[in-house]
Structure 1
Amino acid sequence: MINEEFLNDPYPAYHALRAQGALHWSPEFCGGAWLLTGHADVASVLRDPRFSVRRAGGWANSSGPGALAELREFKRIFSRSLLFVDAPQHTRLRQVMNAGFKPAALQELGPQIQIIVDRLLDQVLAKAADCGASGQFAEFAQFDFMRDFARPLPALVIASMLGIAAEDRSEFVAWSDDIAAFIGSPTPTLEIARAAQVSLIAMNEYFRQLLPQRRAALGDDLMSQLIRAEATGGIITTKELLAQCCTLLFAGHETTRNLLGNGMLALLQHPEQWQALQSTPSLLPSALKELLRFDSPVQYTGRRLKVDVEMHGQLMKKGDLVIPLIGAANRDPAKFTDPDQLDIARNQGAHLSFGYGPHVCIGATLTYLEAEIAMRSVMQRLPQLRLAGDIQSWGGNAVYRSLNQLPLKFARPSAAEQATAATPATPAEAQYA
């Protein structure tokens, strides 16, 4: 199932699976797993406590003989993450982290996100102006949306949210890519697993070394809030604190980057939708929901059965791996009319791109906020934006659907327009540039 054709466009495979039935056993997928394609089934599994998220050990085991012993530290760190623990541990950790994602906290983060977005777009426009000044003038300027905008933006936002150095963003992205490569491989090799372990340990160590100075000078950022919880009656342990920081850095980067890339590609491939959004920016909130449904940044997730469960006349046994195919559920015709059509005004219920139930993505509202600010600013500042070619380069990750590159072009601004658009950074703003 996982081949180049699938990675470029998984949706025909999902339709074929759905046509053959609601539940499938695949002996090859992740070493043996049940696959679910329907929206109702996927939503049901994601909220059912019989389906456990505790699967870090299974991943380590899947990397080959002897992997569990070699990847012990990887398993230890990930097994403390909010992503991979069940209640009551999950409930406790989520309550601690919720403070950083309340509407008031995110509202305060909005201006910082706008600063970061503006600086990235300033750089894109400055390069276009430099080319014109050097005689390389053309009506349209070209840039790589992924490299110049979608990849750096979420890393910078998470750095701001955690109160850590923005200049370390290249390391954040590299670490996240290694971890994503492991999670996104149905059958990871030991080499992929080793690289993921090295990066996860490096990320964990980065935060561990920050702890003494952060404990001495607490602020309003999320890491400071976790440190306060650690000091208040042991609500969260130091090792759990470090694991949550790693989770935020990794998960926050992957989802937002891919929403921006996949969403921009979908809009520009459907010019009438892009034009409708430009003419009616108030459609942006519904457009983002539709973009998430249409091409989900996370294509599937996993659960381990705590007990035997019967579904659709088949017995799934305790310990079996179950794969809710989120990308397939979001294109289920039983839930969505014409599911393969992009409709930014669609209002037919919830997509499942952020999960569902107790483990729904804690950063969903933050991702929406980032994407809304980013898309609105791109529409305003890059006129006549369009694809620079018909060929896109998709990454080789089955879980995190992402573009390697997305070449775009836009109408080159005049010198007067460029001078008006760009605003110099103040010292306080410069840390986000």
Structure 2
Amino acid sequence: MSAVLRRPSWEPPVADPAFLDDPYPTYHAMRAAGPVLWSEQFYGGAWLLTRHADVERVLRDPRFAAQRTAGWAAGGDLRAFQPLFSRAMLFLDGADHQRVRRVLQAGFRPEALQRLQPHIEQWVREALDGVRPADGFDFMHTLARPLPVSVITRLMGVEAAQAACFVQWSDDLAAFMGALQPTHEQARRATASLLALARYFEGVIAQRGASPGDDLVGRLLQAQARGELEAGAELLSQCAMLLFAGHETTRHVLGNGLHALMQHPEQWERLRREPELMGPAVREMLRYDSPVQYTGRRLTVDLEMHGLPLRRGDIVVPLIGAANRDPARFARPDDFEVARQDGHGLSFGAGPHVCIGAALTMMEAQAVFRQLTARTPRLAWVAEASRRTGNPLYRGFAALHVRQRAAVSPAAWPAA
């Protein structure tokens, strides 16, 4: 690519703790600098988009392919990793994507999710029964990490007893996928964890035999028997990435959402008084602090954006976190408003790759915040005991310590 195509350029300070703590001022500055910016640090060179209209366009336009992104995310010797990684629905387009998505969609049908509702409600209730809010607790450890694992394993029909392994394997994959230039160690750990997931599901599949069952894994096996899904890498990849995605993003929806509520006590109080706002409130949590900050596409054709020629093969990075704070799309975009009426963000994506588990994530989040606001009306953030993951892609908390404060007026609810 010639030098002229790399201007205007911008290098977000993605390793700066201040950026990782709050990237949104940088996103605003980038948006003001220009609609299409070039960065050398994203995968060796990529176009960055910050405006809502452009991000949504790219997510919907088939000329921006997801299928070609699996390779550029790789670093180091990943010969054992790529055959599995690249077959996940996340990296498929066109007919292949539609075929795999149809199979998976059946597992997320409304009646299947409704059967999970009592389990989710009971799980949250028991988790909160086990803590003393006045003493404080780590919300990520107590609820945000284990709940999504419990739910996705139940949906898939696999052993919840393996949850600790699933979480560690997911952490390794998230660290690799969130690294702009993965290190050899990150690549090695991601490979080992993805292969461990594949081996686990090979064992599950072997145990099912001629009785696949009616859970999500069973439906995948039935689809394979009908010729709708390929055996081997394609089948194992869907199993592994479903378990990963079902845990990784949902935990950050919960952590980021609770943090936003505690930083805006008047919104917490309104949600406590008006629980019917729970659905819009969770959508606002997703918009305000997206658990997935960006995604990647590769151009399949030459085209022009905002007067700049982009070439076939160029990588384009739609910054979802920036799009969700675009003042051209949202009034007062930096305000957190549980009753916001001017639309939803793009945290679940858009177009053919819109998140297949969006309804399940919404169900989990609403159950958690419905019980939290009812049972712990004066919860506050313990900032000094909390820390973020440091992952620029999967934005969230590694630890989020909270405690219940004494009864005071909402105006007196700063972070603990």
- 1:8 maps to 21
Deviation at 1:103, TM superposition (A): 1.1
- 2:412 maps to none
Please, which of 379, 392, 401 is the counterpart of residue 385 of structure 1? Answer: 379
Please, which of 25, 35, 39 is the counterpart of residue 26 of structure 1? Answer: 39
The ranges of structure 1 where at least 4 consecutive aligned residues each deviate by more than 6 angstroms after the TM superposition are none
1:75 matches 2:82: yes
Q: 2-side partners of 1:289 and 1:35: how far apart?
A: 25
Secondary structure of 1:30 counterpart? coil
Aligned residues of 1:230 and 1:238 also touching (Cα < 8 A): no
Q: 2-side partners of 1:270 and 1:345: how far apart?
A: 13
Please, which of 227, 243, 246 is the counterpart of residue 237 of structure 2? Answer: 243
Q: 1-side partners of 2:331 and 2:228: how far apart?
A: 49
- 1:221 maps to 215
Aligned residues of 1:258 and 1:402 also touching (Cα < 8 A): yes
1:48 matches 2:61: yes
Q: Which amino acid aligns with 1:254?
A: E
1:273 matches 2:273: no
- 1:360 maps to 354
1:289 matches 2:307: no
Deviation at 1:411, TM superposition (A): 6.5
- 1:110 maps to 117
Please, which of 137, 159, 176 is the counterpart of residue 143 of structure 1? Answer: 137
Deviation at 1:5, TM superposition (A): 1.6
Aligned residues of 1:302 and 1:321 also touching (Cα < 8 A): yes
Please, which of 171, 190, 203 is the counterpart of residue 209 of structure 1? Answer: 203
Deviation at 1:207, TM superposition (A): 0.5
- 1:326 maps to 320
Q: 2-side partners of 1:380 and 1:214: how far apart?
A: 42
Q: 2-side partners of 1:214 and 1:381: how far apart?
A: 41
**CA deviation vs aligned residue, 1:14-65 (integer Å, no higher than 9, x gap):** 01100111110112222100000000000000011111112111222xx2xx
**CA deviation vs aligned residue, 1:370-413 (integer Å, no higher than 9, x gap):** 1111111222333422223467411110100011111111269x
Deviation at 1:309, TM superposition (A): 1.6
Aligned residues: 392
Q: Which amino acid aligns with 1:15?
A: H
CA RMSD of aligned residues (A): 1.5
Higher mean displacement: 89-98 or 102-111: 102-111
- 1:170 maps to 164
Q: TM-score, normalised by structure 1?
A: 0.88
Q: 1-side partners of 2:96 and 2:270: how far apart?
A: 45
1:101 matches 2:108: yes
Q: 1-side partners of 2:360 and 2:342: how far apart?
A: 23
- 1:263 maps to 257
Q: Which amino acid aligns with 2:73?
A: W
Q: TM-score, normalised by structure 2?
A: 0.91
Secondary structure of 1:72 counterpart? coil
Aligned residues of 1:382 and 1:411 also touching (Cα < 8 A): no
Q: 2-side partners of 1:272 and 1:85: how far apart?
A: 43
Aligned residues of 2:252 and 2:395 also touching (Cα < 8 A): yes
Q: Which amino acid aligns with 2:331?
A: T
Secondary structure of 2:280 counterpart? helix
Deviation at 1:234, TM superposition (A): 4.4
Q: Which amino acid aligns with 2:72?
A: G
Deviation at 1:255, TM superposition (A): 1.1
Aligned residues of 2:269 and 2:377 also touching (Cα < 8 A): no
Q: 1-side partners of 2:39 and 2:228: how far apart?
A: 43
Which 5+ residue runs of structure 1 have no aligned equivalent?
Answer: 129-139, 413-433
Q: 1-side partners of 2:212 and 2:229: how far apart?
A: 17
1:317 matches 2:324: no
Q: Which amino acid aligns with 2:137?
A: F
Please, which of 106, 123, 127 is the counterpart of residue 120 of structure 1? Answer: 127
**Residues 311/213 of structure 1: CA separation in 2 closer, same or farther (3 Å cut):** same
Q: 1-side partners of 2:276 and 2:396: how far apart?
A: 27
**CA deviation vs aligned residue, 1:314-338 (integer Å, no higher than 9, x gap):** 0111111100000000000000011
Q: Which amino acid aligns with 2:120?
A: I
Higher mean displacement: 359-368 or 375-384: 375-384
**CA deviation vs aligned residue, 1:263-292 (integer Å, no higher than 9, x gap):** 000001100000000011000000001110
**CA deviation vs aligned residue, 1:206-251 (integer Å, no higher than 9, x gap):** 1011112123433221111111111113444343221111111111
**CA deviation vs aligned residue, 1:328-373 (integer Å, no higher than 9, x gap):** 0000000001100001111112210011000000000110011111
Aligned residues of 2:286 and 2:345 also touching (Cα < 8 A): yes
Please, which of 150, 153, 159 is the counterpart of residue 153 of structure 2? Answer: 159
Aligned residues of 1:22 and 1:38 also touching (Cα < 8 A): yes
Aligned residues of 1:215 and 1:224 also touching (Cα < 8 A): no
Q: 2-side partners of 1:214 and 1:27: how far apart?
A: 48
Aligned residues of 1:326 and 1:353 also touching (Cα < 8 A): yes
Secondary structure of 1:43 counterpart? helix
Q: Which amino acid aligns with 1:104?
A: E
Aligned residues of 1:300 and 1:326 also touching (Cα < 8 A): yes
Q: Which amino acid aligns with 2:87?
A: R
Aligned residues of 2:252 and 2:396 also touching (Cα < 8 A): yes
Deviation at 1:91, TM superposition (A): 0.3
- 1:420 maps to none
Aligned residues of 2:267 and 2:338 also touching (Cα < 8 A): yes
Please, which of 69, 73, 79 is the counterpart of residue 59 of structure 1? Answer: 73
Q: 2-side partners of 1:29 and 1:315: how far apart?
A: 19
- 2:368 maps to 374
Aligned residues of 2:385 and 2:401 also touching (Cα < 8 A): no
Q: 1-side partners of 2:209 and 2:301: how far apart?
A: 43
